[in-house]
Amino acid sequence: MSDRKFELSRRKALIGLGTVGAASAGAGLGTSAYFSDQEEFTDNSIQAGTFGLTVDQYVTNVDQDGLGPDQEDWEADQNDTGVWVNTPEIGIEDAKPGDEYEFCWEVTVEDNPGYVAVTGEYDDWNGVDVDNIELEDLWDIDDEEDLSTIGDEALVTELTITVPGEDDDETVYKFGGDYDTFGDLLDAIEDDGVLLHDEGGDGIQIEADQTVTVCLTLDIPGEDVGNELQGAKLEWDLTFYAEQARHNDPEDVKSEAAGL
């Protein structure tokens, strides 16, 4: 085998580069249009989409059997709007066995489909805590530990989410059996947030400009509650939080709401 040495002079290198350059230029004649072609648009614009949330809060029924502030004495229609909505506080007092309450919220997602979760805060006092009663006035209550609160005694008899459909049709999801007492429901809302979901636990995608109605019915059973509830008071409010459905997971929306 002979040893061959390749020597590259400066002149040869320049000639070679010139040849490559010419070939590249020739190739570019056929492809340059793909990189440089352009079209002109006039009177057109692109803008970001919009998203919002509106919540209407209603006290739809308060029945204290004529012995307390029935529905006509409650402020029945209250509204707030935003991407997170704080509803006005609701106070329940002068509660008695046999009382019934119903509250509803009309939740509208605006402009784009979205998921909605709910969080909130509450305070729940017995009658001595708020100085509404004296313990010695209750003939069958010997110790403050025997007193009770509205959160402990009010039962969630019905909790529904109603989603409208086509041709005046609607789907109603029922969750009354998921919470024994009003306090159980409020704890879940306050601690972890509650996603508006179907009966299978999947988040409900609310369509653009669609109104979903959430209703809660409470009952204080007459056969089980007595003087331990006298003078008790409960105050609570809710925060509704929404994110658009596109690119967002409903469970993440719930987590964000819990962190508000």
Is 16 inside a domain boundary? no
Residues 6+ apart with CB under 8 A from 178: 156, 159
Q: What's the total number of domains in the chain?
A: 1
pLDDT for 47: 55
Is there a domain that residue 139 lies in? yes
> Is 165's pLDDT higher than 60?
yes
Number of residues in the chain? 260
| pLDDT tens profile 104-135 | 999 999 999 999 999 999 999 998 888 887 77
Tell me the residue range of the domain where 137 lies: 52-258
Question: What's the rounded Cα separation, in Å, for the pair 238 and 240?
Answer: 6
Q: What is the mean pLDDT of the chain?
A: 78
For residue 124, count CB atoms less than 10 angstroms from its CB and return exposed for 0-12, middle for 13-18, buried for 19 or more. Answer: buried
pLDDT at 3 over 90: no
Domain assignment present for residue 129? The answer is yes
How confident is the model at residue 164, as a pLDDT? Answer: 94
φ, ψ of residue 184 in degrees (nearest 5): -60, -45
**What are the beta bridge partners of residue 53?**
82, 109
pLDDT at 124: 96
Is 33 a residue whose pLDDT tops 50?
no
Structure tokens at 91: 């106070």
CB-neighbour burial class of residue 255 (10 A; exposed 0-12, middle 13-18, buried 19+): middle
Report the Cα 73 to chain-centroid distance in Å.
Answer: 29
pLDDT higher at 27 or 97: 97
* Confidence tier at 22 by pLDDT (50, 70, 90): very low
Q: Beta strand pairing status for 194-195 and 114-125?
A: antiparallel
Query: Is 5 contained in some domain?
Result: no
And the tokens for 3? Answer: 């040893």
What pLDDT is attached to residue 205?
A: 97
Q: How far is CA 259 from the centre of its chain?
A: 12
Q: Which band of pLDDT confidence, cut at 50, 70 and 90, is reported for residue 44? A: low
Q: Has residue 102 been placed in a domain?
A: yes
High-pLDDT (> 70) share of the chain, %: 73
Residue 39 lies in a domain: no
Strand partners for 120: 238
Over 90: is that where the pLDDT of 48 sits?
no
pLDDT value of residue 10 = 41
Does residue 47 lie within any of the structural domains?
no
In the prediction, which pLDDT does 9 show? 46
Q: How many helices (H) and strands (E) does the chain have?
A: 4, 11
| Span 128-156, pLDDT tens digits | 888 887 777 776 777 787 888 999 999 99
Q: What is the pLDDT of residue 142?
A: 75
Question: Quick check: 76 pLDDT over 80?
Answer: no
- Domain presence at residue 3: no
pLDDT of 207 strictly over 90: yes
